[in-house]
Amino acid sequence: MRLNRPAARTAVALITALGLTTVAACGSSSSGSDGTATTTAASVALKGVTATGAVDLKTAPKVTLGATPISSKAVEHKVLTPGTGKAATKADTVSLRAQIYNGTSGKLIDDGYATGRSAEGYRLGRTDIVAGFTEGLLGATKGGRIAFTIPPEKGFGSAGNEQLGVKGTDTIVVVADVADVHTPLTKVDGAQTAAPAGLPTVEFKNGPTKEPAVTIPKTAAPTATRQATLVQGTGATVQKGQTISAQYHGVLWKDGSVFDSSWKRGAAADFPIGVGGVIPGWDSTLVGKKVGSRVLLVIPPKDGYGKAGSPPKIAGTDTLVFVVDILDAY
């Protein structure tokens, strides 16, 4: 299930679709089976692509695509300006600003340097991102400028994307300036404090990589959102408008039944925070927390899914209990 109210789903889907078009890659490389970069021949499709200007993440480069149409059958890479430091793998998060082109027409379809835009981050382990974007990001290095192609088979498929003006036969070309490459946490460590009196208890009987046991007190549910930091993280502070990567476990106050759990699914989940992309009880509590924190949330209907609930598991009268481990913010 999703952590956003039904009314917000269309907007979130739109933001996600557009956000998937701002990523980067390492130069003459392709991805190995382990998600690292392996050296290959120079890109043929991108041979005419150039970009001038400093990689300062402030000024858009002047991009020349060369002859169009540009077409490729695989994700091809070209280093325009070398970066430094570690090369991104599937375990990493990459922040960047990018310009996205339709390789057939040469038209700019998304400009990461437009007024009001800033660097955007992508955790490469996400499975809800178009496959060609995450493959293109493999090998990215901080301070580098990279170009890569997204063939239809690894982009929007034969259906294309009408909103972006991409047909099912169009190759996408990305030119990206890489702001940062870092490795998010895989688990929250640290001594856990007890939950305040009147709130559920939380036990990680099988360690921090497995779902917790949550015990609901035999009292009435709070009528206002309650929160408690069980483990205080030491990482960056979560900012409004960022995406957080988190493991979470949700149960109903009324009977302790599990309605959703990323731990049970075996993979962290990613959510925009503080911008209405999730239920209000998350937006109002997780902004300002530190990466590496474990947070207990008790959320009444008005700050959850409202009177409509989220059928079939959550009724409009249900109070929700979450345990959230914040692994990254980007």
pLDDT digits (tens, 9 = 90+) for 53-95: 999 999 999 999 999 999 999 999 999 999 999 999 999 999 9
Residue 97: predicted pLDDT:
97
Q: Of how many residues is the chain composed?
A: 330
Secondary structure of the chain: what % helix, strand, coil (to 5)? 15, 30, 55
* Mean pLDDT to the nearest integer, 130-159: 96
Structure tokens that stand for 124 in this block: 């490469």
Region 148-157: mean pLDDT is 97
Which residues are CB-neighbours of 196 under 8 A, at least 6 positions away? 226, 228
The answer to whether 254 touches 238, Cβ cutoff 8 Å, is no
Residue 72: HSE in the Cβ half-sphere, 13 Å Cα cutoff: 23
Banded model confidence at residue 42, pLDDT cuts 50, 70, 90 = confident
Question: Does position 171 have pLDDT exceeding 70, yes or no?
Answer: yes
Q: Residue 2 has what pLDDT?
A: 56
Interatomic CA distance for residues 117 and 184, integer angstroms? 23
**Is residue 32 over pLDDT 50?**
no
Residue 28 pLDDT more than 70? no
Whether 30 has a pLDDT exceeding 70, the answer reads no
Name residue, tokens 């493999």: 138
Question: Which residues, other chains included, contact 273 with Cβ-Cβ below 8 Å and sequence gap of 6+?
Answer: 238, 240, 241, 242, 243, 244, 282, 283, 286, 287, 329
Model confidence at 162, pLDDT cuts 50, 70, 90, reads: very high
**Distance between CA atoms of 171 and 153, rounded to whole angstroms?**
9
| pLDDT at residue 257, as a whole number | 98
Domains in the chain, CATH or no CATH each: 6-182 (3.10.50.40), 201-329 (3.10.50.40)
pTM of this structure: 0.86
- C-alpha 36/C-alpha 215 separation (Å) is 42
Question: Tens digit of pLDDT for each residue in 2-26?
Answer: 566 443 332 223 234 444 432 222 2
Res 37 pLDDT > 60: no
In this prediction, residues 196-217 reach a mean pLDDT of 97
Percentage of the chain exceeding pLDDT 70: 88
Mean of the per-residue pLDDT values of the chain: 89
Question: What is the structure's pLDDT at 303?
Answer: 98
Q: What is the pLDDT of residues 250-263, one digit of tens each?
A: 999 999 999 999 99
Q: What is the mean pLDDT of residues 135-143?
A: 96
pLDDT digits (tens, 9 = 90+) for 268-302: 999 999 999 999 999 999 999 999 999 999 999 99
* Model pLDDT, residue 36: 47
Q: What are the residue ranges of helices labelled H in the chain? A: 9-19, 131-137, 262-265, 280-286
Tokens for 216, please give them. 């609901």
Residue 13: the pLDDT is 31
CA distance 171 to 156: 10
Cβ contacts of 12 within 8 Å, gap of 6 or more: 2, 4, 272, 277
